[in-house]
Copies of this chain bind each other. A is one copy, B any other.
């Protein structure tokens, strides 16, 4: 019986100076899909609908990068170092070729891995993310602060404001998403430390302030599926369009009336799209 999001065992593996935690879903075999996480996220923060949907046809691997959640070491303050750690993790598991699924910060890391080790990567999903130097990305600190203030005032989870649009439909999808994140009760991961959050925010801010790399993006020749909601305030949606336009072999999926977490709001539709993309 293949493991699911609900019951996947938490495993560990040593990379360089740190022991990373990870979980595996779905049947082993074929090119695995390695998921790269967002700011503050640990193993339990992936949407079970999305992961189990993809794991129905693919070997899925989620992990906490260095310093994150229950993983050891100090979280580095640059996307390039996070990418080097991700490569070390993939190689430690013995994989010669993987698909990458990067969400938000994880999408920055995925772009970097694809450039550093093009032959290690087959296909890439870039969700709720953008290119280095992309518009509005370096405002992450202010956006977070605004969302936490609203969340406090309205007694809601900050993800209601960060991941979903203000409409009734999107807010309802936000409730459902947050409930799904609580489905797994046993063997939950450790929350991120302040050091990790600070280092991740620094890494994101630097990524947003970097030179705009249209030429660099052209070097990512892998098939890429770019996806987002149409009202992302964390990595503004224009960045998904910019990725689609600059990457030589990209597809674009934009969901209406949805924010940064559009792929969670439309999890079923997005699973279909992702399975098609990975299969073709």
Contacts and interface: CB of A to CB of B under 8 A. Distances in A.
Interface string A227-251: 1001100000110010011000001
Contact of A245 (B238, B254, B257): B238
A251 B230 contact: yes
A251 to B, nearest CB: 4
A253 B273 contact: no
Contacts of A276: 169, 257
A280 B169 contact: yes
Q: Give this chain's copy count.
A: 2
A273 B252 CA distance: 17
Given A168-B280, A276-B169, A280-B167, A256 B251 contact: yes
A231 B250 CA distance: 10
Contacts of A238: 245
A252 B255 CA distance: 7
Contact of A256 (B169, B253, B256, B257): B253
A140 to B, nearest CB: 22
B225 A256 contact: yes
A269 interface: yes
A237 B256 contact: no
Contacts of A255: 253
Nearest to A229: B252
Contacts of A244: 230
Contacts of A245: 238
A33 to B, nearest CB: 17
Given A168-B280, A245-B238, A230 B257 contact: no
A28 B130 CA distance: 46
Interface in A197-251: 225, 227, 230-231, 237-238, 241, 244-245, 251
A254 B252 contact: yes
A254 B253 contact: yes
Nearest to A225: B256
Contacts of A225: 256
A83 to B, nearest CB: 25
Contacts of A269: 269
A82 to B, nearest CB: 27
Nearest to A273: B256
Contacts of A251: 230-231, 256-257
Closest 10 CB pairs of A and B: A254-B254, A251-B256, A230-B252, A253-B256, A251-B257, A252-B254, A241-B241, A230-B251, A256-B273, A269-B269
17 contacts: A169-B276, A225-B256, A230-B244, A230-B251, A230-B253, A237-B252, A238-B245, A251-B256, A251-B257, A252-B254, A253-B255, A254-B254, A256-B273, A256-B277, A257-B276, A257-B277, A257-B280
